[in-house]
Amino acid sequence: NSLKHALSLGGESRVAELRDIVSYFEKAFSWTDAIKQGCVAPCKGSDLEYDQAQADVDELERELEEYLKNIRKKLGGDSKIKWKHTQAFKNQIEIPIATLSKIDLPSDFELTSQTKTARAFHSRFLKAKVQEVQTAVDHRQALLEGSLQRMFARFDTHYDLLSRVVQSVSTLDCLF
């Protein structure tokens, strides 16, 4: 009878609760990626705050792509108009010199760099949007860095049940 009590988790509802806890932690992050990268990144649906931060970054990046698409349309549809990234300026609009000679450049475009074949520009909108993206990326990164602590905190809320499981497993281990 004392063995039965030592191995008991406290009823069928506790077994179902344990199953839910284990299932959550199996799906909360990619174990393979965590081992390879040495970092725990939450899977979609396991950390709602991180999911929202990721959605915010994705939306801002979509807005940037839409802006580039509209600029291409406004400047004659040249598919050679593209993003150029440097350390000094992220998301510059690079326009081939051959295209520049055929178009009227928007008045808010500011030259940021040039080569023999192309020139790169920023605009007020672009500068503001790039800053928004950077802020969102920084926020997402901060949440990523705190995701492991949030998982530990969630694990800790089930301390009583998990402690009981460890105790039961250790009892079984001693017996066999």
* Angle CA 55–63–76, to nearest 5: 155
What is the structure's pLDDT at 81?
95
Distance CA 96, CA 81 (A): 7
Query: Could you report the per-residue pLDDT of 3-16, keeping only the tens digit for each?
Result: 565 556 666 677 78
Positive or negative: CA dihedral 45, 156, 4, 176: positive
Tokens of 75: 């400047």
Tokens of 64: 């940037």
What is the structure's pLDDT at 152?
87
- Please answer whether residues 93 and 119 qualify as being in contact, where contact means their C-beta atoms are separated by less than 8 angstroms: no
Query: Could you report the per-residue pLDDT of 22-50, keeping only the tens digit for each?
Result: 888 888 888 888 888 888 889 998 889 99
Predicted TM-score (pTM) above 0.85: no
Phi, psi (deg, nearest 5) at residue 9: -95, -5
Tokens of 60: 């801002």
* Helical packing angle, 124-156 and 12-27, nearest 10°: 150
What is the structure's pLDDT at 18?
85
What is the structure's pLDDT at 155?
87
Q: In which residue ranges of the chain is pLDDT below 70?
A: 1-12
Please name the residue that has the structure tokens 């997402």. 140
Distance CA 36, CA 38 (A): 6
Can you list the positions of beta strands (E) in 115-166? Answer: 118-122
